């Protein structure tokens, strides 16, 4: 292909790939060859989107999204298609089946093989393999060498493999028969791994459904049916709520009288009428509560519900500082806060000044109000006396009628999450919940003693699920490590036995060819010769 010449630099990879020809040992019977000596390199292009007639045709067109979906296997369909006019009026070309495609831009390392003739965007470098190179062998090699590919690329924000490096790529190549044995063994072992991973994913999905079922049963009162039978004299939630609201109003009146006294004023006529009752829920969830429960609004049960805010980037410090600053990625779907993920801090002056409204204290319940996904909930721990939160988080401070653990259980439960999602405003794929919506949230309120029982029962049941999920995650991590170990052995020449009768690869290139002036495979006589064994 035209364009800038291949680089003359030499950069070795990990197993059997390099930029240039490295001084790096290979397995017996393998040899370093320039990739362009055994495969013709091509790229792609994006037809103009200003011309609708170039799109939605019958020619499959591979983008990064397609490569991500079909990574490590043959690509059979694409999200977008182009017309022949789109190809004719762009630099994109139709490539044959069995072409190996590697994403080379911001998402470096996705590899797929065309199952039929297709075109690609300019985000790919593609190779049409000769008879000397099995496409699947090249695909698995590129997957095994993803870390090397990133090393070959350039750029700080987004790594890109530029064509001077792509043109200079060399690979360790075994005889074709050995390539096929390697591919067959990889696919056999990967098939077994895939079956195991699929089983683990089913277990993980079942555990997620179990968790959701437990939380749903908790807020609907089904988890503590037997407990209510054993405790019939418990104060009903309606009485609890009535008492809480009366105490809140009495406290407000006391505070107002104190202010009047401190100001030396006599309370004006009708001053008590200025008290604003927290709103009752207008649209409770579509299920029947137990007789001893009651519906309540979030503002009736919380002393404050506030959203956070975010200072300029130069006022935040990573790793350490005075006041911890919580972001959405610190929230979880379990109620715990994970501040080990990118811990961020702000100065105490910022915390007490412009971000005073978004202060959080241990025990506050945090929920993300920007998604997807919505539904991440965490209780602020007592690691620090005060915290702060960003604008994508709302903080609920539980009042005397609800425990923070039960409140967190409610916010994590599907009925509450579904209500939140139904109220969310969607913009460009993003869901947003306002603070006013958070303050209008209806909550199922059990008696205080039953709240404690619900939390204990949820903990008991979910601790079993948490232990099982931990085992699943460890097994999935082991599977990922085993997958990489298989590729490592494959391209170190240790996965399959070598056969002395294999016909070695001999690549005849034009005299004097070099990485800088490497001819395309269409002008190279790459042949498999019957020369007998050349094992050392």
Which residue, 34, 238, 278, is CA-closest to 132?
Answer: 34
Low-confidence ranges of the chain (pLDDT < 50): 510-536
Query: What length is written for the chain?
Result: 536
Residues 486 and 519 in one domain: no
Give the separation between CA 316 and CA 114, rounded to whole angstroms.
Answer: 47
Give pLDDT, residue 123: 95
Residues 385 and 459 in one domain: no
Give the separation between CA 382 and CA 386, rounded to whole angstroms.
Answer: 8
Q: Is residue 262 part of a domain?
A: no
Give the separation between CA 35 and CA 13, rounded to whole angstroms.
Answer: 14
Q: Which residues pair with 387 in a beta bridge?
A: 360
Give the separation between CA 6 and CA 35, rounded to whole angstroms.
Answer: 12
Structural domain boundaries, residue 41: 11-175+513-528
Which residue, 32, 30, 14, 43, is CA-closest to 166?
Answer: 43
Q: Is residue 108 part of a domain?
A: yes
Residues 373 and 317 in one domain: yes
Q: Final residue of a domain: which of 446, 461, 488?
A: 446
Q: Is residue 422 part of a domain?
A: yes
Q: Final residue of a domain: which of 446, 476, 492?
A: 446
Residues 113 and 188 in one domain: no
Q: Final residue of a domain: which of 402, 427, 446?
A: 446
Listing from the earlier edge strand, what are the strands of the sheet with 169-173?
11-12, 17-19, 169-173, 31-34
Residues 315 and 459 in one domain: no
With 0-12 CB in 10 A as exposed, 13-18 as middle and 19+ as buried, what is 391?
middle
Q: Is residue 21 part of a domain?
A: yes
- Do the Cβ atoms of 413 and 335 come closer than 8 Å? no
Residues 137 and 281 in one domain: no
Number of structural domains found in the chain: 3
Residues 399 and 423 in one domain: yes
- Do the Cβ atoms of 361 and 384 come closer than 8 Å? no
Residues 454 and 404 in one domain: no
Give the separation between CA 326 and CA 288, rounded to whole angstroms.
Answer: 36
Give the separation between CA 428 and CA 422, rounded to whole angstroms.
Answer: 16
Give the separation between CA 111 and CA 139, rounded to whole angstroms.
Answer: 6
Cα radius of gyration rounded to whole Å, the chain: 32
Q: Is residue 299 part of a domain?
A: yes
Give pLDDT, residue 534: 34
- 351: domain CATH number is 3.90.220.20
CA distances from 234 to 231, 291, 292, 298, 353 (A): 6, 12, 8, 23, 45
Q: Is residue 244 part of a domain?
A: no
Q: What is the pLDDT of residues 104-137, one digit of tens each?
A: 997 899 999 999 999 999 999 999 999 999 999 9
Residues 67 and 88 in one domain: yes
Q: Is residue 256 part of a domain?
A: no
Residues 24 and 168 in one domain: yes
**CA triplet 378, 381, 382: central angle to 5 degrees?**
165
Rounded to two decimals, what is the model's pTM? 0.77
Q: Is residue 1 part of a domain?
A: no
Distance between start and end Cα atoms, the chain:
36
Give the separation between CA 162 and CA 11, rounded to whole angstroms.
Answer: 14
Residues 284 and 427 in one domain: yes
- Do the Cβ atoms of 190 and 479 come closer than 8 Å? no
Residues 411 and 438 in one domain: yes
């Amino acid at each position: 292909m035209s364009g800038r010449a291949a680089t003359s630099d030499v950069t070795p990879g990990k197993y059997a790939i390099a930029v240039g020809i490295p001084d790096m040992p290979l397995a017996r019977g393998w040899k370093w060859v320039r990739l362009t000596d055994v495969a013709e390199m091509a790229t792609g292009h994006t037809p103009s989107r200003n011309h609708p007639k170039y799109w939605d045709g019958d020619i499959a067109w591979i983008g990064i999204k397609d490569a991500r979906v079909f990574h490590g296997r043959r690509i059979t369909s694409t999200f977008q298609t182009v017309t022949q006019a789109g190809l004719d009026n762009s630099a994109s070309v139709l490539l044959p089946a069995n072409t190996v495609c590697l994403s080379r831009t911001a998402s470096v390392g996705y590899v797929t093989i065309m199952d039929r003739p297709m075109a690609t965007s300019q985000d790919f470098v593609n190779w049409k393999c000769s008879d000397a190179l099995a496409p699947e062998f090249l695909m698995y090699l590129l997957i095994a060498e993803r870390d090397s590919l990133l090393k070959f690329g350039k750029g700080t924000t987004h790594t890109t493999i530029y064509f001077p490096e792509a043109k200079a790529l060399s690979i360790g190549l075994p005889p074709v028969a050995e390539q096929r044995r390697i591919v067959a063994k990889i696919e056999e072992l990967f098939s077994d791994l895939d079956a195991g991973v699929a089983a683990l994913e089913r277990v993980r999905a079942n555990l997620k459904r179990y968790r959701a079922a437990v939380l749903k049963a908790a807020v609907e009162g089904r988890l503590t049916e037997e407990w209510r039978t054993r405790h019939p004299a418990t104060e009903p939630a309606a009485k609890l709520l009535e008492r809480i609201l009366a105490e809140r109003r009495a406290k407000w009146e006391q505070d107002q009288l104190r202010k009047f006294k401190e100001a030396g004023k006599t309370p004006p006529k009708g001053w008590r009428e200025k008290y604003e009752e927290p709103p009752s829920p207008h649209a409770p969830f579509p299920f029947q509560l137990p007789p001893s429960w009651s519906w309540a609004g979030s503002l009736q049960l919380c002393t404050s519900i506030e959203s956070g805010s975010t200072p300029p980037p130069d006022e935040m410090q990573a790793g350490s500082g005075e006041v911890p600053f919580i972001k959405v990625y610190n929230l979880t779907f379990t109620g715990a806060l994970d501040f080990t993920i990118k811990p961020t801090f702000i100065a105490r002056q910022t915390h007490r000044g412009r971000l005073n409204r978004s202060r959080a204290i241990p025990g506050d319940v945090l929920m993300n109000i920007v998604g997807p996904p919505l539904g991440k909930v965490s209780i602020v721990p007592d690691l620090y006396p005060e915290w702060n939160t960003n604008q994508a988080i709302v903080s609920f401070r539980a009042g005397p009628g609800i425990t923070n653990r039960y409140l967190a259980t409610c916010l994590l439960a599907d009925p509450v999450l579904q209500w939140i999602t139904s109220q969310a405003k969607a913009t460009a794929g993003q869901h947003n919940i306002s603070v006013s919506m958070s303050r209008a949230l209806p909550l199922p309120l059990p008696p205080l003693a039953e709240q404690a029982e619900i939390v204990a029962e949820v903990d008991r049941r979910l601790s079993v699920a948490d232990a099982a999920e931990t085992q699943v995650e460890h097994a999935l991590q082991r599977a990922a490590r085993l997958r990489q170990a298989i590729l490592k052995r494959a391209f170190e020449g240790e996965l399959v036995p070598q056969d002395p009768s294999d016909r070695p690869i001999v690549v005849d290139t034009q005299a004097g060819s070099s990485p800088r002036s490497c001819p395309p495979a269409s002008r190279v006589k790459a042949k498999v010769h019957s020369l007998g064994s050349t094992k050392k």
